[in-house]
A and B are shown apart, each in its own frame.
Chain A
């Protein structure tokens, strides 16, 4: 049985910051899910704010590396999905406020 929690994975990913907007990926609402199996392998499901993002490969790599820093973690893989498409309602209130969305 693995004792790594989804919260721990989200906490790890929250160290990854989008350099364009200045917020971390978790508070931007870009991380949809983290599935952890019994062997502590982690499957992260995330999206990006735009499909043409030139940082696409780097951001997924940063997410992978951030999760790999969790003690006892097994294999980590990151899946980028476009459905549901990201929108500002998925972001935390502080992000919405800072961007002027509310």
Chain B
């Protein structure tokens, strides 16, 4: 009998720690919100600590785990060296903790944490480039993976320079470097990666077919160019150039939203499951974030910028990630534990592998929390901000519990069989 290739499917034990620790970091980040007030400056060390807890501990951790599984799907070839993910995981985990401790306790720790994260990300990017070289496929998503990994390297190198600067090791213009770092990581890596993967995943899960791809091609070109302009302008202190870069990026994101609308029009599956609700909330938040961003440029009130970034990170990025977790994790568990049983005994459907009630509680607590805290930031109202934080903590508990249940699904039967 023909052997089924396992090249495209890394083992669950390799990927699951990324998701397990990712959601724990998410819960810690939500809990930490309770100790903040909505009146702050973005360059404060405690704010930088929270942003790194959220972005490194949750966003990057989950994206890296997801990429271990999705890169072969997107590139239609196996990983060059999938085992490096066993090294990336502890480096990123410890590096994130040390960096957050550096921001919250003592900056002396920052270069050490930064170095661990730098090594983890270099390994990740190099493995991705090696896998890209194996692939003969030419597609927009392949280009997106290439560019996003390039920006990730630039982002982490500037981040490491900032860590050395804060620890007093080198003399650099931290404020300018910070803008280049934030834009390369957030715009260049996170947003580009989400754009590229959503073009594959959203039609796959919604069963949409036959849509035009012109809008996403423009979106991709504009965002790649916009990030490059902001990055170079920030490093050279050319402020007008940065505004041009912001504008180009926003136009690119409008093209992306247009593409998503084209896909949504052709969606076959109308069921409003946790994934569909998360997508609706994510794109609604992205639109709100853009509107608030434009308002900020018109009247320069910092609280509006805070609310805009909040809806981008917590409304768009976090919802895109958590919504997809309820699709990706059941698939990985099913693939490992139940796929070999197909045709021999009854196997569960993917949607039966997570608690609908738990996922629903997670969604509603989180969506309410994002909106309440966003209002708290916008109006600098501590009560709204803390109330939202409480909702987010409650939501995070449901996320952690449902994740554990998904990862454990079928493991007892597997032990009995073994």
Contacts and interface: CB of A to CB of B under 8 A. Distances in A.
B270 A101 contact: yes
A46 B216 CA distance: 29
A57 B200 CA distance: 18
Contacts of A16: 342-343
Interface in A58-102: 58, 61-62, 64-66, 85-88, 99-101
B334 to A, nearest CB: 6
A88 B207 contact: yes
B268 A101 contact: yes
A87 B349 CA distance: 22
Interface string A5-41: 0000000000111011110000000000000000000
A61 B204 contact: no
B301 interface: no
A88 to B, nearest CB: 4
B342 A62 contact: yes
A53 B200 CA distance: 10
A85 B343 contact: no
B2 A52 contact: no
Given A16-B342, A19-B334, 18 more contacts: A15-B343, A17-B349, A19-B338, A19-B348, A19-B350, A20-B205, A21-B269, A52-B74, A52-B76, A54-B73, A57-B4, A61-B2, A64-B2, A66-B343, A87-B209, A99-B271, A100-B270, A101-B269
A50 B269 CA distance: 14
B156 to A, nearest CB: 28
Interface of B: 2, 4-5, 8-9, 69, 73-74, 76, 200, 203-205, 207, 209-210, 268-271, 331, 334-335, 338-339, 342-343, 347-351
B271 A49 contact: no
Contacts of A58: 4, 335, 339, 342
A58 to B, nearest CB: 6
Most B-side CB within 10 Å, residue of A19, A50, A58, A65: A19
A37 B345 CA distance: 31
Contacts of B73: 52, 54
A53 B8 CA distance: 11
16 contacts: A19-B331, A20-B349, A21-B269, A22-B349, A50-B203, A50-B207, A52-B200, A54-B69, A58-B4, A58-B342, A65-B343, A66-B343, A85-B209, A87-B209, A99-B271, A100-B270
Contacts of B5: 57
* Interface of chain B: mostly helix, strand, loop or mixed: loop
A76 B73 CA distance: 26
B350 A49 contact: no
Contact of B207 (A49, A52, A54, A66): A49
Contact of B347 (A19, A20, A57, A65): A19
Contacts of A57: 4-5, 8
Given A99-B269, A99-B270, A87 B210 contact: yes
A74 to B, nearest CB: 15
A20 B269 CA distance: 12
A16 to B, nearest CB: 8
Q: Which A-B residue pairs are the 6 nearest by beta carbons? A: A100-B270, A88-B268, A50-B204, A22-B349, A54-B73, A101-B268
Contacts of B271: 99-100
